Amino acid sequence: MTNFEVWAPGKPVRLLVGGQEREMESVEDGWWRLEVPEAGAGSDYAFRLPDEDSPLPDPRSAWQPNGVHGPSRVYDHDAFTWTDQGWSGRQLPGSVLYELHIGTFTADGTFDAAIEKLDHLVDLGVDLVELLPVNAFNGTYNWGYDGVCWFAPHEAYGGPDGLKRFVDAAHARGLGVVLDVVYNHFGPSGAYAPMFAPYLSAGSNAWGSSINLDGPESGEVRRYIVDSVLMWLRDYHVDGLRLDAVHALHDEGAVHLLEQMAVEVETLSTRLRRPLTLIAESDLNDAKLITPREGGGYGLHAQWDDDVHHALHALLTGERQGYYGDFGSLDCLRTVLEGAFFHAGTWSSFRGRRHGRPVDRHRTPGHRFVAFLQNHDQIGNRAVGDRLTATLSPGMLKVGATLLLTSPFTPMLFMGEEWAASSPWQFFTSHPEPDLAAAVQNGRRREFARHGWAEADVPDPQDPATFERSKLDWSELGKAEHAEILDLYKRLIRLRRATPGLTDPWLHEVEVWHGDQHVVIRRGPQVVAANLAQSPQTISVRALPRSVLLATSPGVVVERDRLVLPPETAAVVSVR
């Protein structure tokens, strides 16, 4: 027996299941329900609305085996056999994140294929695997940010059971799993939920119509989102969620949706007796998101910190276009390493206004900020999807890795970064509708033409070759130049974990000074020094070194309170 239900205020709904069309019963608050004794797990079903010729999938569908335009299928969460009963979770503080896209992480692009690479991640030393969005989207492959079914894992990846197998296998290896989820908009094709009820508001954001979080009948819309949040954490045993672009969640209610999420996730975490993490992506530079509720904040656990990325990227590459314009100096690097944000109530030339709010360095620990050298946005939203590997020398790649992995923040790596993968990661889609495909192709090229790129140089998102180019080439691990970078990442992660000064999260304990093309960071009894120049430099560490814990190239010399560093070299030393 299955109890079918759907929210469709003021719209009589008919259920199609088992080859029959049946009237559903109206219950309270715009819900329609019907028990069907002969339906069970594996039964396909759909709903029919008045004045709609075609049957529609369930807005809360747990399984879309024939894509987002097909019927839904009843899925029994209790039928899966878990083996992670002893899993007690993985907290974010002290962890290293690893971001990957299921479709391009392996040649096969499935959850099961990704399981085969989990031992690599264990050997690397990461703690939490962050998956780009896996909920169902239009087409076969996509970044995932055009999802339309917020309760159903994408079938081409392996569907619901495939995701559960991946999480179960990760837990068996001591790895936690974080899912990237998108609740600020629906994708452009297959978004049938708004046909049932007022899921959308009159406003819009960069990706389309905004979600109705504070208008009439918004209570059920908020419930829809929070139930999705709880479902991933409870039914799929996921350890955390990365909330995409929360600045696009327009909510003027007394209790912001993000705070509501934090409250209900805390309740679930207490019941499950394992840590559950909420990480926000926000461009607001406002620590209110990660300030505990008792301190007047929303109570999320962490947020992405683009300012750290911009500071490192602009410094290492010399790029100053677009939003990199204010970044790139050693003063800028000092500001973000000591205070998390560069724009903290200061002028942003990119925005043409003051931006951000200072972080309380004594009360806000650095582990609440997720920092990175590369991620899906900062690679994939470049015209040709080029990684830092295409720009930086091996020496500067190593310096960048050292500055990231010895920082006071929670570091995150993007798949393949750890071996300086040469494959690009480009913007790809597989929309089957010709008009939508053409709109995406032309829009992408026009966007980059405004920034000086020739349209012919911008890869066609709809070309299958763009997707194939973006897949990792795992054979590179057998090449000396890639193995050398991988070895450094492993050593840096081990050193970070073994050295108390490098995991100390308190920003007021971080001291940074710099000179001509060099920077020094004091982390308690450890000092990190980096020579960015193409010639050797003698650098004062303002203390007497005890030993060199790590160096990115040979030839580091200790001279009393100074280090002589070879060109493009970083070193970590313990000091008296």
Is 244 annotated in the active site? yes
Q: Which long-range contacts (CB under 8 A, 24 or more apart) does 31-35 make?
A: 31/5, 31/6, 31/7, 32/5, 32/6, 32/7, 32/8, 33/3, 33/4, 33/5, 34/3, 34/4, 34/5, 35/1, 35/2, 35/3, 35/4
- Length in residues, the chain: 576
Helix ranges, 72-158 (H) = 102-105, 111-115, 118-124
Distance CA 185, CA 192 (A): 13
Residue pair 149/201 in contact by the 8 Å Cβ criterion: no
In terms of phi and psi (left: phi > 0; alpha: psi -120 to 50; beta: otherwise), the region of 154 is beta
Distance CA 112, CA 336 (A): 39
Residue pair 171/237 in contact by the 8 Å Cβ criterion: yes
Residue pair 548/557 in contact by the 8 Å Cβ criterion: no
Question: Quick one: tokens of 196?
Answer: 């049932």
Question: One of 130, 239, 244, 476 is an active-site residue; which one?
Answer: 244
Residue type, 317: T
Cα–Cα nearest to 121, from 106, 140, 134, 109: 106
Residue 412's SS3 state is strand
Question: One of 281, 305, 326, 568 is an active-site residue; which one?
Answer: 281
Distance CA 572, CA 254 (A): 48
Residue pair 190/68 in contact by the 8 Å Cβ criterion: yes
Residue pair 242/133 in contact by the 8 Å Cβ criterion: no
Distance CA 187, CA 434 (A): 16
Residue pair 572/535 in contact by the 8 Å Cβ criterion: no
Any idea which residue has 């903290």 for tokens? 344
Beta bridge partners of 6: 32
Is 386 annotated in the active site? no
Distance CA 351, CA 310 (A): 15
Distance CA 424, CA 451 (A): 20
Positions marked active-site: 244, 281
